[in-house]
Structure 1
Amino acid sequence: MHISFTRHDPDISQSCKAVTEYLDKENTSREREYEEFMEDIENQALSDFDKQIELQNLFFSQDDNEQEVFLNQNSATDLIDANVSSRAKERESKFFILNISPSKDELQQLNEIVGAELKAAGIGEKETQLLSQSESGAKQLEIMRNDLMHQCLREYTKDVMRDYAQNFNRKVYNNPGNLPTQKEEKQINSETRKELAEMKIDRKDPGYAQKYQEIREQKAAELGRDLSVRKMTEKDLVWIAKVEEKRTYKGNDKWVIENRKAQREIKKLEAEDKPDREKIALLKAQLHTDRTTGEIVREGLKKGGQQYHVHVVVSRYDNCPNARYKGSISPLAHHRNSRMAGKIAQVGFDRDSFFKKIEQSFDERFKYERRDSYEKFNEQKKLRTGKNTRTRHATKAVSVLSKPVRDELYKASGAEELQKLDVRNAVSRELGFRVPLSIPKTPLQLATQTVRSAIAKITDTSKGY
């Protein structure tokens, strides 16, 4: 699992609008592909499945009371832009971008889970083969698998943001609606420092920070205010995210640069009066090609294979409604104990610990047996450089998909009727992510029609028609 952090550049813009507009770029092609598929279906009424597919074009965020939260591009932009501390500096990054990129092996594990989930819901190898015999049936399978991948990655992103929040080891206020005013806070801080001085406890004392907080809470309580704190969780973060399915080669990619240089040399050699054919052939053979498609790599070329990844835009500040008390949190901060807003606070982010934890979260959620870990890579890197060395239970049933598919497909094919599927045995419940998918009435009708058509042809052939 690879996760990178990108800092917002406040010199370009104070808003994240450009970022959210960029992340919306896949919507047009996705909508067009789905609409073309739906044109082949007689009943165009919006089903639950249609609505679910539309969610792929929206941003998602932290669940609210176990319900998924989705936002359009404007609402997502406003959520990040509005969450700013009154102490924010103009040239300070207001948000950070996390790029979550599963490895090839991790994506394969998700594919296997998707296949197992569909099988548990009634679409096994036999049904898959029958559906794959027609273009429309194959498209339906692709849509269902893709939607499951989106759901898996949304759930995992929430795990990542949980680990992100925990890694800061920060405190937030228990009662943000009853915090002191600016004048009251100055009085509380002054009296606290004076009392600590009388107790002869200075800043170098290991227990200074804890004692400072205890006295501040006491002084605030005397004024009828509440400065008590608790550990920060993912619910205190402000973030939005989007699952993406495609990647293209950028102009500054190493392979693009090297190919561009080689192609210039090839063009120069070919223009000579007596071209060196052997050298030209050698240069062409050395051009980088996409490992999946075999196409010569160039700027703008779509990368082959599955390219699922997630972009997260997370605010620099927690979601305290009082702008004066919003805490500043940066994943790029190296230091540990420091001063923030006049108070001692742990503001650093331990990236090594974070990378290990998010791998562990993936392994636990998706039952993945990891061979190449970040820790192993780090140890090998140290040797090369000479240095020393939640599970959420699903609450939705698969019956929306499983019962009609089971009844229709097995009845039409003449196969023995299966016992009723038990949702308690569903793969989604075992793994703890929110599947199943809402499945479709219209695509389901198409699946049934496809299977029936295939069976009818086989029957007709056997009778000699």
Structure 2
Amino acid sequence: MYITITPQKLGGTYSQSSAGFVDYLEKENQGQEKEDMEHFFNQYGNEISAEEVIREIDGNTAKLEKTEPRFYSITVSPSKYELSRLQDNSTDLKHYTRELMKDYVASFNREINGRPVRLEDIKYYAKIEHQRTFKGNDKQIRENQPFATKILELKNEIRKIERGEMDGNIKACQQQIVKLEKEAPHRQNGERIVQGMQKDGPQSHIHIIVSRKDASNRHSLSPGSKYRASEVALNGKTVKRGFDRDKFFSNAEKSFDKTFGYRRNFVETYTSRKEFIKNPKMYFTALMKLPTNEKAIALKILRESGMPMLPGIPTNQAQLAMKVFNLLRRGVDIAIKSSSIGI
């Protein structure tokens, strides 16, 4: 499971309205028959229109500054192992979303009118998607890029030769292109993986758009708060503040397991992923001590995620930290997202 919480982008891809983001989430419905479309939903209803989502989110922004996000985006990406437990991806993920949002409100260290935040206090809309495409920061695209660049250069040479702008052997260029296509390290269904290509296999995931303001449009509820759980004096009163992401991520994982009877492997747990980043030596030690069957599954999951295995644990702690840090910089942190909750 991989979960991200990101604020609305301001002044860049998206405007201060939610319209751009909502339109983006409608992309899979293009060209679909009505009965095949995935609609927005929330805790109380299904088949909510995009227009209603935009109207409700954009109309719930009282007293927010222009530089403050109007909404947050939560993306929930189950792994292929987790998706294999579902009977119907669309129906089951809608059910899970409603359980997940209970975990979301329980993670706020806030009070509204002297009581904890409740489900009816938040305004959110969610949508299930079933496709993913390869993006520029994916490992497959990055490692295929040198081949893609050379192929493009050769195609440009062929066009120049055809126009008489340069001398050359078109057939030799075409043969070199065929060779490079085959040598590219990442392929899918016999073809070189390129940006925008749809990913094979189960890709169902959840997008959730949550208003920054509560349903009454009076209180700000930010999951992006830098405070986990604290109290502060405000106008002579003690006020609770904060959002506990650790609690949210852990409970989101537990809710999935309880809802679908999923038996989570060590390397899929949020706890182990935190251990990987904070104390990699302990992580690999715990991994090697797993029962034989569980360890085999764990190593299979890690290999499929593209995470390189350390050949040995350095004895010097500084060397270990640098080695693991370099692995993370080379994309391990991206690779492990396929089977874990983001930190």
- Alignment TM-score, normalising by the size of structure 1: 0.52
Distance in 2 (alpha carbons) for counterparts of 1:279 and 1:72: 47
The equivalent position to 1:163 in structure 2, one of 103, 107, 118, is: 103
Q: Closer, same or farther in 2 for the Cα pair 1:169/1:70, shift >3 Å? A: farther
Q: Is the 8 A contact 2:39 2:46 kept in 1?
A: no
Q: Give 1:269 shift.
A: 7.1
From 55, 79, 94, the equivalent of 1:78 is 55
Residues 288-327 of structure 1 mapped to structure 2, 5 A cutoff:
288-290=186-188, 293-320=189-216, 323=217, 326-327=218-219
Cα drift, residue 170 of structure 1: 1.6
1:331 is matched by which residue type in structure 2? P
* Corresponding position: 1:337 with 2:337: no
- Judge conservation of contact 2:121–2:214 (CA < 8 Å) in 1: yes
For residues 70 and 215 of structure 2, the distance between their equivalents in structure 1, rounded to whole angstroms, comes to 13
SS in 2 for 1:21: helix
Which position in structure 2 is the counterpart of 1:7?
7
Distance 1:384 1:283 in 2: 37
Partner Cα distance (1:314, 1:248) in 2: 24
Structure 1: distance between partners of 2:257 and 2:68: 36
Distance (Å, rounded) in 1 between the aligned partners of 2:281 and 2:222: 28
State how far apart, in whole Å, the 2-side matches of 1:9 and 1:319 are: 22
Q: Is the 8 A contact 1:248 1:300 kept in 2?
A: yes
Q: CA RMSD in A?
A: 2.9
How far off is 1:264 after superposition? 2.0
Kept in 1: contact 2:69–2:212 (CA 8 A): yes
- Structure 1 spans left out of the alignment, 5+ residues: 35-52, 115-147, 174-228, 390-465
Question: Does the CA-based 8 Å contact 2:275-2:282 persist in structure 1?
Answer: no
What are the superposed Cα offsets for residues 49-97 of structure 1, whole Å, 9 maximum, x if unpaired? xxxx46x43210112xxxx3431010111111111233x1111011010
- Deviation per CA, 1:245-286, whole angstroms, max 9, x where unpaired? 1111224434224323222225557967788x8998477323
2:9 & 2:177 partners in 1: Cα distance? Answer: 45
Whole-Å separation in 1 of the counterparts to 2:276 and 2:226: 23
Cα distance in 2 for partners of 1:299, 1:359 equals 31
Name the CA distance, whole Å, in 1 between partners of 2:17 and 2:219: 19
| Structure 1 position 294, deviation (Å) | 4.4
1:150 maps to which of 90, 112, 132: 90
Tell me what 1:47 maps to.
none
Decide whether the 8 Å contact of 1:168 with 1:346 is kept in 2. Answer: no
1:79 is matched by which residue type in structure 2?
A: E
Could you tell me how far 1:315 is from its partner in structure 2? 0.6
1:361 partnered with 2:259: no
- Residue 149 and residue 279 in structure 1: after superposition, are their counterparts in 2 closer, same or farther (change >3 A)? closer
From the superposition, tell whether residues 268 and 94 of structure 1 become closer, same or farther in structure 2 (CA, over 3 Å): closer
Q: Does 1:60 align with 2:36?
A: no
Query: How do 1:114-193 residues align onto structure 2 when only pairs under 5 Å count?
Result: 114=87, 148-173=88-113
Post-superposition Cα deviations, 1:354-403, rounded to whole Å, max 9, x if no partner, equal 1111010001111111112111222233222889x9xxxxxxxxxxxxxx
Residue type of the alignment partner of 2:4: S
Structure 2: distance between partners of 1:149 and 1:19: 23
* 2:234 paired with 1:253: no
The aligned residue for residue 188 of structure 1 is none
- Distance between the aligned counterparts of 1:57 and 1:307, measured in 2? 14
Change in CA separation of 1:385 and 1:7 when aligned onto 2, cut-off 3 Å? farther
Q: Distance in 1 between matches of 2:230 and 2:117?
A: 16
Structure 2, unmatched stretches of 5+, are 158-167, 287-343
Give the whole-Å Cα distance in 1 for the aligned partners of 2:23 and 2:178. 43
Q: Aligned in 2, Cα 1:18/1:279: closer, same or farther, shift over 3 Å?
A: closer
Distance 1:13 1:237 in 2: 22
Q: Paired residue for 1:107, among 79, 83, 92? A: 83
Other-structure match for 1:92: 68
Residue in structure 2 matched with residue 348 of structure 1 by the alignment = 242
Q: 1:367 & 1:252 partners in 2: Cα distance? A: 33
Question: CA offset at residue 309 of structure 1?
Answer: 0.6
Determine if contact 2:127/2:208 at 8 Å carries over to the other structure: yes
Q: Is the 8 A contact 2:61 2:70 kept in 1?
A: yes
User: Cα offset for 1:344?
Assistant: 4.0
Q: Secondary structure of 1:162's match?
A: helix
Q: How far, CA to CA, are the matches of 1:297 and 1:344 in structure 2?
A: 56
Contact 1:330 1:347 (C-alpha < 8 Å) held by counterparts: no
Shift of the alpha carbon at 1:17?
0.7
1:263 to 2:133 alignment: no
Q: How far is 1:150 from its partner? A: 1.1
Which structure has greater helix proportion? 1
Identity of aligned residues (%): 33
